[in-house]
Chain A
């Protein structure tokens, strides 16, 4: 699958990049980061033009994110009604308050630092009614950072993109795991704290 997707790049250039990023940002799993590193390498080799790559990459990723956000906002209403029955109104209000407080940071960092979480953050932002104007601001900021950073890395290490992808892939999952450990550890610590204070 990865072979097939990446093979489209040298053949169709920026149009392929745009299409693949729309689909992968909307939530279909794909080698998006490797794709940008390869694009950076192709720019360094003179096979692709930088401005076309930036325009196609950023616009493709941002459009894909909007698909996820509005799928959450429209389709999520049904899901929300069912969830309300399970976790109650207080639970939903708590989730919405959490998104309002941390949403901006979650959107920004899930664009580039922990990008496997990106499609989930898009959906949850839509479901919890996060203001669209704030969503798109953080989204564009994060996607610009992601596309520029990975294209640049691909250009610098243009002869070793596959090895770089392996390293960055594991690093990303390590960060995702570390965040989960911190959140879960904090939750558990919250339970032990009253006993420690006693």
Chain B
């Protein structure tokens, strides 16, 4: 009982001695803790996503060759899917989309579709039925 009273007295004395800049440091510490916790959570989420999703999101800066490399499919299939001749083309997708006068999302969708078909080709059996 006496010990807890001493501790309470000690805390009161410490808090009374705090000046405005100590409160400022304490507030900054709380903010920094929140920031650190948020990014720890996001880093863990990204690591979990990394572990379970092996597919890279297709971005406008990527070239067709880069997408083919990321998805492990032959580049000629992807060139064909967006109506390009099957030879190396270093242009990013956003420039290809502009040249074809369509939104970059439409180009991405065509590539996604071709990737799905390249990975899981429809079986002959299934088509005949």
User: What is A's interface to B at a CB cutoff of 8 Å?
Assistant: 2-7, 9-11, 38, 41-42, 45, 47, 158-164, 166-167, 170-171, 173-174, 177-178, 180-181, 184-185, 187-188, 191-192, 195, 198
Contact = CB atoms under 8 A, between A and B. Distances in A.
B59 A188 contact: no
Contact of A170 (B10, B42, B54, B70): B42
Contact of B94 (A7, A38, A188): A7
Interface of B: 10, 13-14, 17-18, 22, 25-26, 28-29, 32-33, 35-36, 39-40, 42-43, 46-47, 49-50, 53-54, 56-57, 59-61, 63, 65-66, 69-72, 90-92, 94-95
Nearest to A187: B25
DSSP class of B's interface residues: helix, strand, loop or mixed?
A: helix
Nearest to A161: B56
Given A11-B91, A163-B57, 12 more contacts: A5-B61, A7-B92, A7-B94, A10-B66, A38-B61, A45-B66, A47-B90, A159-B70, A170-B40, A177-B36, A195-B10, A195-B14
B25 A45 contact: no
Contacts of A10: 63, 66, 90-92
Contacts of A9: 61
A159 B32 CA distance: 34
Contacts of A177: 32-33, 35-36, 39
Contacts of B32: 177, 180-181, 184
Contacts of B70: 159-160
Nearest to A191: B22
A7 B61 contact: yes
5 contacts: A7-B61, A167-B50, A170-B42, A184-B29, A191-B22
Contact of B54 (A45, A160, A161, A180): A160
B11 to A, nearest CB: 9
B65 A45 contact: yes
Nearest to A185: B29
